[in-house]
């Protein structure tokens, strides 16, 4: 029997925005590329956000390379992003196989073996673009909590929380948004480690994108990182958040020290995510690829400022594609 694994010049693990943007540049330069994604449908992490989630910037500031996000009146909901990613994939005929869960990548003498169960592929170039949604982070605390625990990664909207008491943990955007919407149906205690840092009402996520862009450019020039911190704060005051805050419904409570202190039916952790790098973990050393031909795109600050945003991922996708194209004798246009 012929069991030689299928070979491609580049294999991208993850078919969210980061994977698609990288595929866009690779395909444009004629690199034979395959994308493996474990979701049943296009959309990446955006398939899993809570029902009321909206982008914190308008459509014209949420563009992938090549083809801008279709217009939307106001802040687009996640389904608008999902539709955009699905259309982007079709438009550029990006070859994505679904659902395929890559469980391990092994490096051997210049070749990567990409394994999904009993199936495998070979390639000289792997792009990890697996995002963070599948790796929700919960900090450890002493004590026990008797109620039901959730994470913003699986928060289903307000229905299960009606007329209950809810503790929401986390002082960033997801905590503020989820706590704000729950205040209209439940009794909410919003725990934050420090007082919430609201951005001015008139600015939206665009200022974060601009800040990221300035950081990326400074690093590129070899200058010191100006940092993520800003006098502007970090919670984008979306309309529902603003209403809840200004009517006094949304107020922060200092962080508990033990879970025993929480008296609530539900506890929702809005404490962020880690990178879902399971399949390539052993090929990284302090976040850096150990061998040539492995690239990480998306994720967040350890790969580059703004790399985890729709509009920010483009330059990193291009950089990875450029290196891969050069290694197989082509150039990225």
Residue ranges binding ligand FAD (CB under 6 A) = 13-19, 36-39, 44-46, 49, 55-57, 62, 100-102, 129-131, 133-134, 174, 205, 276, 279, 298, 308-311
Report the residue number, 172 or 218, with the smaller CB distance to ligand FAD. Answer: 172
Residue 17 to residue 8: CA distance in whole angstroms: 21
Q: Are 9 and 32 in contact (CB under 8 A)?
A: yes
Report the residue number, 45 or 304, with the smaller CB distance to ligand FAD. Answer: 45
Closest distance to ligand FAD from the beta carbon of 51 (Å): 12
Report the residue number, 304 or 329, with the smaller CB distance to ligand FAD. Answer: 304
Closest distance to ligand FAD from the beta carbon of 34 (Å): 12
Q: How many helices (H) and strands (E) does the chain have?
A: 6, 16
Closest distance to ligand FAD from the beta carbon of 205 (Å): 5
Q: Are 72 and 79 in contact (CB under 8 A)?
A: no
Q: Which two tokens stand for residue 268?
A: 């929702």
Q: Are 180 and 275 in contact (CB under 8 A)?
A: no
Report the residue number, 55 or 244, with the smaller CB distance to ligand FAD. Answer: 55
Closest distance to ligand FAD from the beta carbon of 26 (Å): 15
Per-residue exposure over 3-30, b if at least 16 CB sit within 10 Å of its own CB, e if not = eeeeebbbbbbbbbbbbbbbbbbbbbbe
Closest distance to ligand FAD from the beta carbon of 129 (Å): 5
Closest distance to ligand FAD from the beta carbon of 143 (Å): 27
The DSSP call for residue 136 is B
Report the residue number, 17 or 192, with the smaller CB distance to ligand FAD. Answer: 17
Report the residue number, 183 or 275, with the smaller CB distance to ligand FAD. Answer: 275
Report the residue number, 139 or 254, with the smaller CB distance to ligand FAD. Answer: 139
Report the residue number, 43 or 221, with the smaller CB distance to ligand FAD. Answer: 43
DSSP 57-122: S-GGG---SSSPPPP-SSSPBHHHHHHHHHHHHHHTT--EESS----EEEEETTEEEEEETTEEEE
Closest distance to ligand FAD from the beta carbon of 308 (Å): 5
Closest distance to ligand FAD from the beta carbon of 319 (Å): 15
How far CA 97 is from CA of 33, 89, 101, 115, 134, in Å, comes to 11, 12, 10, 14, 19
> Residues with Cβ < 8 Å from 41, sequence gap 6 or more?
47, 82, 86, 98
Q: Are 69 and 84 in contact (CB under 8 A)?
A: yes
Report the residue number, 48 or 330, with the smaller CB distance to ligand FAD. Answer: 48
Residue 52 to residue 161: CA distance in whole angstroms: 15
How far CA 331 is from CA of 42, 171, 287, in Å, comes to 28, 44, 26
Closest distance to ligand FAD from the beta carbon of 11 (Å): 11
């Amino acid at each position: 029997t012929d069991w030689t694994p299928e070979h491609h010049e580049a294999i991208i693990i993850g078919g969210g925005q980061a994977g698609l943007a990288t595929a866009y540049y690779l395909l444009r330069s004629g690199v034979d590329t395959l994308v493996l994604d474990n979701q049943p449908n296009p959309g990446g992490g955006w398939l899993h956000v809570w029902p009321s989630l909206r982008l914190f910037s308008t459509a014209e500031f949420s563009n992938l390379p090549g083809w801008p996000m279709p217009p939307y009146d106001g802040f687009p909901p996640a389904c608008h992003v999902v539709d955009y990613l699905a259309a982007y994939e079709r438009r550029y005929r990006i070859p994505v196989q679904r659902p395929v869960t890559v469980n391990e990548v092994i490096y051997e003498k210049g070749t990567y073996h990409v394994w999904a169960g009993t199936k495998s592929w070979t390639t000289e170039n792997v792009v990890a673009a697996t995002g963070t949604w599948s790796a929700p982070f919960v900090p450890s605390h002493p004590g026990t909590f008797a109620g039901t625990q959730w994470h913003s990664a699986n928060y289903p909207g307000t229905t299960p929380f009606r007329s209950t008491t809810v503790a929401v943990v986390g002082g960033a955007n997801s905590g503020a948004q989820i706590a704000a919407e729950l205040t209209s149906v439940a009794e909410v205690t919003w725990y934050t480690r420090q007082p919430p840092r609201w951005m001015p009402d008139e600015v939206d996520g665009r200022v974060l994108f601009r800040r990221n862009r300035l950081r990326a450019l400074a690093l590129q020039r070899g200058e010191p990182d100006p940092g993520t911190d800003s006098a502007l704060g970090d919670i984008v005051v979306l309309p529902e958040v603003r209403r809840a805050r200004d009517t006094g419904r949304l107020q922060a409570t200092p962080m508990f020290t033990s879970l025993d202190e929480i008296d609530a039916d539900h506890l929702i952790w809005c404490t962020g995510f880690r990178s879902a790098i399971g399949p390539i973990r052993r090929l990284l050393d302090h976040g850096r690829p150990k061998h040539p031909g492995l690239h990480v795109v998306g994720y967040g600050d350890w790969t580059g400022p703004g790399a985890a945003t729709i509009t920010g991922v483009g330059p990193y996708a291009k950089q990875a594609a450029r290196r891969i194209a050069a290694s197989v004798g082509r150039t990225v246009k």
